[in-house]
Structure 1
């Protein structure tokens, strides 16, 4: 899914630059070739990099995530702070049988998202987190 998204982004960027070259003579034509090379490298490297960096785990007491490319971000959401657990399938994710789980907490940093999960794993995770968060004392604020 991440490879396809990177390729689509690259095609869009190359198409925009091609349009700019055709409309304005000030943009050198060689920039299209340079951007295409960069986009091929981007599509080859970034999805693999994301896969190596992005992690998640749930325990009886919290949800842990790690994201980031250049800068890493680790987030911990205690079960007592979980307000909602959402399941979503975007159009590209649906093609690959994948889904996103979003965990909303009272944190000012915003919700935690776990992307690229197998549909069945995502559904089980939503059910499990909902039950665990409901069983913990507290008002999730």
Structure 2
């Protein structure tokens, strides 16, 4: 019996386009949280030097705008996934990018998760846990139906695979 050759390569499928809005919404929460101390500082320092407030406010607005506009688009172009009969492929990140592969014979569990924000955007995340010390493979930003189908397909494939997933 010959072993299947599994090569690291770019995965075929993109995540759902709604993932861009999901990532932007999550980032917006961070920027709103970062705005609160600025507002408190501005109120506590009212009438004092205006220039520092303006400079910090402009820097905040520029950084927030760039992050909220560029990051979701960039991540969407990078994030990819694929599940074949022999392996699960993922590619994630935006500033730091990672490409991973897990042979089906090494898969231990397949999970799906939908938090409140994902539910708003009708998205789900799939986590494929393996015997690897590198941790699980995560596929974020799938349409909920696609995630359900992927979990079912992977569960079936893993069930038909010989081996102990270690």
Q: Fold match, TM over 0.5? A: yes
1:136 aligned partner = 161
**What's the secondary structure of 1:110's corresponding residue?**
coil
Provide the aligned length of Structure 1 versus Structure 2. Answer: 141
- 2:64 counterpart of 1:33: no
**Alpha-carbon distance between aligned partners in 1 of 2:99 and 2:66, rounded to the nearest angstrom:** 27
For the pair 1:2 / 2:23, whether they are aligned, the reply is yes
Contact preservation (8 Å) 1:10, 1:36: no
1:102 alignment counterpart: 127
Following the alignment from structure 1 to structure 2, what is the Cα–Cα distance between the partners of residues 20 and 129? 52
- Where 1:139 maps in the other structure, the secondary structure is coil
Runs of 4+ displaced beyond 2 Å? 16-26
1:48 aligns to what?
Answer: 73
Gaps of 5+ in 2: 1-21
Deviations 1:94-128 (A, max 9, x none): 00110000000011110111011101100000000
SS at match of 2:134: coil
What CA distance in whole angstroms lies between the structure 2 residues aligned with 1:22 and 1:74?
46
The 1:80–1:32 alpha-carbon spacing in structure 2 relative to 1, beyond 3 Å, is same
Taking structure 1 as reference, are residues 101 and 34 closer, same or farther at Cα in structure 2, changes over 3 Å only?
A: same
RMSD across aligned C-alpha pairs, in angstroms? 1.9
Aligned to 2:37: 16
1:84–1:18 Cα change, 3 Å: same
Residue 106 of structure 2 is aligned to residue 81 of structure 1: yes
By relative contact order (CA 8 Å, sep 6+), the higher-ranking structure is 2
- The C-alpha deviation readout for 1:117-140, integer Å capped at 9, x for no partner, is 101100000000011011111111
Are 2:117 and 1:92 equivalent residues in the alignment?
yes
